[in-house]
A = this chain, B = another copy of it.
C-alpha cells in the first residue's frame, strides 16, 4: 500500500498499485473531471506527478498529452498507477468543484487538550453532623482539582443547582477555578469565533472530543457604523458613547450566534465553558471597548497586543457564569490575533521552507516564515472591501446568484453562480475571474485600460465594460457587467497587496525565487481561482512556489486555541517571535504600490485564454 499526497488540497490517501489515481482521488472524496468514465479518451482528468514513481505513460496518454507535458510530469489520472508513495498536483482545471470542506481539511488535526476539565460527580448531602459549605463539598467530590475556588457569579449558582439536580452535577473547572455547573455528565462546549471586519464565523466545539457540533456566520453589525475599520474608529472617537455602541452591537450579535449554535447542537448555555475569539487589532479593541484614539493615528499603537482573558459575562454573553473569552495575542499595528491564528493553523512557526502566508480581506495580512535568523515577520495592508463586493458596480457578497466563476469562450460567457441561481452580481472570486479573463483576452491592457476597439467591449453606464449577463438572463432584470471603474478598484486593492508582498520580501532580503510555498488563507482566498489571481496580478508568480489554499485558517487557529492549551501557548510564542513590519513608512512604498497596480505583460499571458 502506498501513500498518495494530493496537492493543493492537502489530502492524503492510501492506494495499492492496482488502483488508478482517478479511483484513489475519487475515493478521497475529490471530484475530478472525467466524461469518458476513466477510459483514457476525454483527457479531462489531468494531474501532475510531483514526486514518486508511477506506471509509464500509456498509448492513450501519448495521443492526448504533448511530449513536453509528459516530461513535466503531466498525466491522465485514469491511466496512471502508483509504484511508490507519490505526491500529485490536482490543477483547478481538472477539479469539478472546489469543495470548501476539502480545503479546510487541508490543515492537520490538533490533539484535544482543553483548559476546562469536566467532572461528573455526586456530592455529599449536607448534614448537621457535617455542615461544611456547598463549595467545599463540591471540592471534596473533585479530588483531582485541589484548592478549588469560585467567583461569586459561579457561587450564586452552586447552591441552587446542586439542590435542583439532587446533588448529581457536572463541574467545569479551569485550573483551580470552578467556571460552571451543569446537569450530570453533560460535556463542556466552547465557541471559537473569527471576528472579521465584514463577516463573523462562529463554531461550537465539544471541549472533550474537539468535535465541531455546529457552525454559523453573521455579518459584523458594526458595518452600520462604518464599512472599513477607519470609519469605525472615527465613529468611536466622535461619539461620546461610540465605543460602547459598537461593542454592544457586536456582543449582541455574538450572543445571538451562540444562541443559534447551542440550539443547533442541542446543548444548554450553561455548558458553554470556554470561548476563543480572533480578529485584527481594531476588531478586538472595539470588542473589548479598549481605547482606539491612539490606534487611529501614527504610530498606530494598540493598547495591548498581548493575550487577553475576559469573563464572557462581561461581554454580555450568556454562558457558564465563570467562562472566559480568550483572545490570543496580536503582533503589532493592526495585525492581531487573527493573523496569529492563521500562522498557528498553517504551522508557519514550524515551516522548513520559505513560506508566505496571505490572508486576503478588507485588510490583508501577510506573514513570512524564513527558516534562519528573523524567522517570522508580518505586515498588514489596507486592501479595501472590493473582495467583499463593495465599491464594485455589480459587486455583491457571496450569496445565491453571485457569480463566483467566469470563463469566456469564443463568443459566449460561461458563468458559475452560487446555488446555480440566475446571476445578480459578482462576489470576490467572480470579480477576480472576470478581471483575469479581461486580461487574458486582452480586453484590458497591462495598465488596466479597456480596449474600446475590442469586439467584446461595450459601452455601459460607467464607460467601457464587459457584459457578463444581459438583463434578460439575469436574476435582477438588469445587465450584469464588469466596468472600467471595477477594474480600477481591483487595481487599488492589488496595488496594496503586491506592495505589501514586495516590502516584506525586501526587508527580509528574500528573493521571489526563494519563496517555496504560498499559503492563501481566508474565506475569500479559499474560493479564489489561484490561476486567475495570478493572471489578474493579484498575487505574483513565484516560480519555485507551491500555492496552497487553506480556507479560513484564522478560524481553525481559533478552534485550536479553544481546545488545546498547548496551541494557546504556541500562539503566544508565535506572536512574540514575529517581527512587525510597518508598511506605510517604507520609503519605496508609493512606487511599489503603483507598480503593483499593473497587470501581467502580454507575453506572460500567451495562450492563457
Contact = CB atoms under 8 A, between A and B. Distances in A.
Count identical subunits in the complex: 2
24 contacts: A126-B299, A128-B585, A131-B332, A131-B333, A133-B330, A133-B332, A134-B302, A134-B303, A134-B304, A135-B306, A150-B304, A150-B308, A151-B309, A152-B314, A155-B288, A155-B303, A156-B289, A156-B290, A156-B303, A158-B303, A158-B304, A159-B290, A159-B291, A160-B291
6 closest pairs, A vs B, by CB? A135-B304, A133-B302, A133-B305, A126-B301, A152-B288, A159-B291
Given A131-B580, A132-B332, A304 B155 contact: yes
A604 interface: no
Nearest to A287: B152
A502 B142 CA distance: 37
Contacts of A303: 133-135, 155-156, 158-159
A163 interface: yes
A412 interface: no
Given A132-B332, A135-B306, A156-B291, 19 more contacts: A126-B301, A131-B580, A132-B301, A133-B303, A133-B305, A133-B306, A135-B304, A149-B308, A149-B309, A151-B310, A152-B288, A152-B289, A152-B290, A152-B310, A155-B288, A156-B290, A158-B303, A158-B304, A159-B293
Q: Chain A: interface secondary structure? A: loop
A565 to B, nearest CB: 15
B308 A152 contact: yes
Chain A interface residue number, banded:
35 or more
A55 interface: no
Contacts of A155: 288, 290, 303-304, 308
A394 to B, nearest CB: 39
A190 B577 CA distance: 38
Interface string A292-326: 01100011111111111110001000000000000
A53 interface: no
Of A131, A135, A163, most buried by chain B (CB within 10 Å of CB) is A131
A150 B327 CA distance: 12
A306 B148 contact: yes
A302 B293 CA distance: 47
